[in-house]
């Protein structure tokens, strides 16, 4: 799915829940997601502090369209 999200403006990874880090909840509002069905994939990232991967996703209905 294409999106208009400025991925450089993602929330600080240290403020996110485990669900948000795994990509099953929106990184901005925390709403539950069904990856591949009702989300916008923002591309996997690596944490700068630990090097571990995280998988930001957003709601396709609001947050993924830049309307946050």
pLDDT in tens, 14-63: 999 999 999 999 999 999 998 888 899 999 999 989 999 999 999 986 67
32 forms bridges with which residues in the sheet? 25
In a domain, 19, yes or no: yes
- Residue 55 and residue 62: Cα distance in Å, rounded? 18
Q: Can you give the C-alpha Rg of the chain in angstroms?
A: 11
Contact (Cβ atoms closer than 8 angstroms) between residue 46 and residue 16: no
Model's pTM, two decimal places?
0.78
- Whole domain around residue 38: which residue ranges? 15-65
Answer yes or no: is 2 within a domain: no
How does pLDDT run across 3-14, given as a tens digit for each residue?
555 656 899 999
Judge whether 37 lies within some domain.
yes
Q: How many whole angstroms separate alpha carbon 9 and alpha carbon 59?
A: 15
């Amino acid at each position: 799915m294409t999106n208009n999200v400025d991925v450089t403006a993602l929330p600080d990874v240290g403020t996110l829940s485990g669900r948000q880090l795994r990509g099953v909840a929106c990184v901005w509002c925390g709403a539950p997601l069904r990856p591949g069905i009702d989300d916008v994939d923002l591309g996997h990232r690596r944490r700068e502090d630990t090097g571990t991967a995280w998988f930001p996703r957003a709601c396709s209905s609001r947050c993924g369209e830049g309307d946050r």
